A and B are shown apart, each in its own frame.
Chain A
Amino acid sequence: MEDYLSNLSDKELEMLRTSFFSNAFDVLEQLGSEILRIENDPEDMESLKNIQRYVHTLKGDSASMGFASLSEAAHRLEDILHMLREKRLCMDRSLGDLLLSFVDTATQILTDDKEKKWSGVDTRGVIEKIDNYLQAGQAGKNKVNKDNKESACQLTEYQQLQAAQALKDGHLVYEIEVSFDPQCRQREVGAFMIKTQLSDLGEALCWAPDIEGAEIENADAVKTILITKSEAEAVRNACRIAGITSDVKLSNLPLPPLNSPTHLSSPFRHDSTLRVDAKRVDEIMNLVGELIIGRSMIAQSVYELRERLGKDEAVANLQNIDSLFERSLSELQKGVMKIRMVPIDHVFRRFIRVVRDLSAEKGKEIRLEISGAETELDKGIIDVIGEPLIHIIRNCIDHGIEKKEDREKKGKDKCGVIRINSYHEGGQIIVEIEDDGKGIDTERVKEKAIENGIIGREDADSMNDEDAIDLIFHSGLSTAAEVTETSGRGIGMDAVRNTVEELKGLIQVRSVPDKGARFTIRLPLTLAIIQGMVFSSEGKSFAFPLSSILEIRRVYKDEIDTINGIESLKWRERIISLIRLSEVIGNPSPYPSPHRGEGIQVCASPTRGEGSLFSVFPPLTEGNNSSIPPPLTGGGEGEGDKNKSFALIIGLAERRLGILVDRLTGKRELVIKAIDNGSDMISGASILGDGSIVLILDTASIIKRAMMPAVGANLVFAPLRSI
């Protein structure tokens, strides 16, 4: 095999490796979840079949890629799986551990090789475990399931279809169990005679045990499934062979209904899946973005032509063609976005294992309930959301759910529950993690915050529970300091919040003492295109991701209080700071100051290169929103009315901030283009239909900047102080 590899060119080898790794990791992941499935339901033969298939695939693939020891381990595992199939072993927790440790080892070995590092993991441990397990099984016999020695016939999907079809065509389908005459010595030949006899009557689909395998000689009986037109008595007679058989049992075989989705879809599922490098999809997405911008420029030109020429047939045609384009483009955009969408199940699946292992480790009994696993998210989000979610789950297990005794004392079911749910809501994805534990211990959180100098003693006393809960997201309160096995990865809730922020999402926590805690994470559907609220402030167009805007409200001048020189507003029983963008953004280069009378000067150049969108800047046309609904302005009288304006209440994690805005343009789908502007407060730009540029603000950075001493030393932040 190695020789075969050495004949390949580097490029061919690299391609082979890439496809091997991508396939192997996929298989390992599937294998892991099937193992958990069969652990829950040891009778799930479908699952066992899948496991056998996956292990077999790994054995073959890793052998041909030169992972001899891995292939060897897989081979040994196959022995165990075979015994499981034969019911000579039964599925239990320790076997589950063994199978999972194979998955872990294989994953580690392959990861090491792929990333060319060395973690010291090899297959010796697993092989030893397998051998030990087999020895223990042989010696103790307690693992050997004697009662169930006779295996059942397992029809393949094709055979099931065959049998179901035969029933439909008026044939009879029998399950036959023929016991051997105890004196019969060559049972393989005996079974062959039974088979020969039955072949005159119809077709025997499968035999258990395998009539050509080694087990048949020790079997007391053999089972088969026969499709025939003969009556039961004729079948019985055919099976009565002197000196070979003693007893014949016949029953009509119950079959799963034909057309049941499980056996129709599964044989084809693999074939209809296409594996594509995510980069290729991104390239297409970029081009679609360019097309959308190009289209909106055409629309603008059409508008200008119409203004100039009035009623003109050619212009009208052009306009029709443009709207045709628009529709197709929006379909294309949705289509490409769909390619990137992956069900969140990929992430959720990993949790089953985490909960299984951790709850055992903590001596707690925990049930994981998953719903909404089919909800789809952008692959880019899926790739990074797993880690923070796992951290939350670890927290639920570690701190949330009580020990069995404590739960019983409280009158709760001794088995705790963690619920994970995901669903769409208003163009966003919501992920909820909820436990029925003791809730967040606000007193302990406050103590810790005081200890770490985050808040003062007086702050703590006046702080309500909600605000105290918010403290868990403070970077100074990292639980990493009290490293338990569980939070051993050294990330705290602040890291969770940071990741959610990076994804332009929002995280909220609700906790009720002794009832439990619920973490709600709101995420955008995709990272490439966002729903943005476009507004103008001091003559410039900006947008916030819609997902970070909690509320838009009209603000009258007399509602604004000035506290410590900072404008603030009463909002939902809280006081929040109001700022103007210029206060935080200032005049970051290359952003020309409006005071020099230049305004923002940006323009689109339809080049494809990244970050090359902005070149020479002709003046931005103010209020040119011809193709879009009329903008809302604060006072209805234009920007002149200083008594009214709008405030966008933005939030990230548990922080809230009000942004004063001159006028609102409205909600837009924004194709994000990367720009290299040297400011982290602007996460990208987008181009509106009129060709004007909108800068997309980075909510997290804006809030952070607003909190920095130089700018917002005295800003009031809702979570820490309240009225």
Chain B
Amino acid sequence: MEQEAVSQIRKKDSTPYRFLLVDDSEFARKNIARVVSMLGGLIAGEASTGREAVVKYQEIRPDIVLMDISMPEMEGVDAVGEIIREDQKATIIMVSSLGHKDLVKKAIAAGAKHFITKPVQIEYAAKIVKAVLEGCGG
């Protein structure tokens, strides 16, 4: 795998992609934000629980959600289910630590497009996000 920097991407109308970051840890959100900036994206909103994520999603209709798997007040998996039920085209990428593979599998089965493993390696994660946004990530 070449370690080249991942180039920035824009939507077809050349506006930046709008991200919703969901994690109960502020540090984690800050960290994943680096991925967004690497890709030239825009953080449209943040949420710290699953419930909040569902509400925020309706409100801001982001292009993509980066969602933690384990959170208080509705787990990531359930939030994925709720969001997909409202918007079948929702693009969600799960962010999880190594121990949660069964939950990640559930989330993917529920409609999440991909997953990123914590601790997040920014370039690798950016590559995945870009591929998903370009529609060939899975």
Contact = CB atoms under 8 A, between A and B. Distances in A.
A341 interface: no
A186 B104 contact: yes
A189 B138 contact: no
Contacts of A197: 138
A605 B1 CA distance: 95
Main secondary structure of the interface of A (DSSP, over half): loop
A241 B137 contact: yes
B128 A185 contact: no
Interface string A605-616: 000000000000
Given A196-B108, A243-B131, A186 B136 contact: no
Interface string A186-197: 101100110011
Given A183-B121, A242-B128, A243-B127, A192 B136 contact: no
B101 to A, nearest CB: 5
A67 B32 CA distance: 57
B1 A246 contact: yes
A241 B132 CA distance: 9
B: contact size bracket: 20 to 34
Contacts of B117: 185-186
A186 B137 contact: no
Contacts of A189: 101, 104-105, 108, 115
B29 interface: no
Contacts of B131: 242-243
Interface in B62-117: 96, 98, 101, 104-105, 108-109, 114-115, 117
Nearest to A238: B138
Contacts of B104: 186, 189
Nearest to A196: B108
B1 A183 contact: yes
A243 B132 CA distance: 10
Nearest to B118: A185
Contact of A243 (B96, B108, B109, B124): B124
A181 B132 contact: no
A586 interface: no
A243 B128 CA distance: 6
Given A183-B121, A188-B101, A193 B1 contact: no
A706 to B, nearest CB: 85
A193 B114 contact: yes
A240 B117 CA distance: 19
Contacts of A192: 105, 108
A32 B131 CA distance: 55
Contact of B138 (A183, A188, A193, A246): A193
A66 interface: no
A185 B128 CA distance: 13
A229 B1 CA distance: 32
B45 to A, nearest CB: 25
A182 B136 contact: no
A: contact size bracket: 10 to 19
B98 A185 contact: yes
A550 to B, nearest CB: 78
B104 to A, nearest CB: 5
Interface string B19-53: 00000000000000000000000000000000000
B115 A242 contact: no
Contacts of A185: 98, 117
B99 to A, nearest CB: 10
Most buried by A among B114, B127, B130: B114
Interface in A239-274: 240-244, 246
Contacts of A196: 108-109
B138 A242 contact: yes
Interface string A230-243: 00000000001111
A144 B132 CA distance: 40
A182 B1 contact: yes
Contacts of B114: 193, 241-243
A122 B128 CA distance: 58
B76 to A, nearest CB: 14
Contacts of A241: 114, 137-138
Contacts of B121: 183
A193 B104 CA distance: 10
B27 to A, nearest CB: 20
Interface string A169-185: 00000000000011101
A244 B130 CA distance: 14
Nearest to A194: B138
A240 B136 contact: yes
Contacts of B98: 185-186
A240 B131 CA distance: 11
A192 B110 CA distance: 13
A485 to B, nearest CB: 57
B96 to A, nearest CB: 8
Contacts of A188: 101, 105
A383 B132 CA distance: 71
Contacts of B128: 242-243
A241 B115 CA distance: 11
A185 B104 CA distance: 13
Contacts of A193: 108, 114-115, 138
B91 to A, nearest CB: 13
A242 B138 CA distance: 7
Nearest to A240: B136
Contacts of B124: 183, 243
Contact of A186 (B101, B109, B132): B101
Nearest to B125: A243
A242 B137 contact: yes
Contacts of B1: 181-183, 246
Nearest to A241: B138
Interface in A357-381: none
B129 to A, nearest CB: 9
Nearest to A243: B128
A432 B132 CA distance: 73
A331 B12 CA distance: 87
Most buried by A among B115, B121, B130, B136: B115
A17 B96 CA distance: 53
Nearest to B117: A185
A199 to B, nearest CB: 10
Contacts of B109: 196
A30 B1 CA distance: 50
5 contacts: A192-B105, A192-B108, A196-B109, A197-B138, A246-B1
Given A186-B104, A240-B136, A243-B137, 20 more contacts: A182-B1, A183-B1, A185-B98, A185-B117, A186-B98, A186-B101, A186-B117, A188-B101, A188-B105, A189-B104, A189-B115, A193-B108, A193-B114, A197-B138, A242-B114, A242-B127, A242-B128, A243-B124, A243-B131, A244-B138
* 6 nearest A-B pairs in the assembled complex, by CB-CB distance: A242-B131, A243-B128, A185-B117, A241-B138, A192-B105, A242-B137
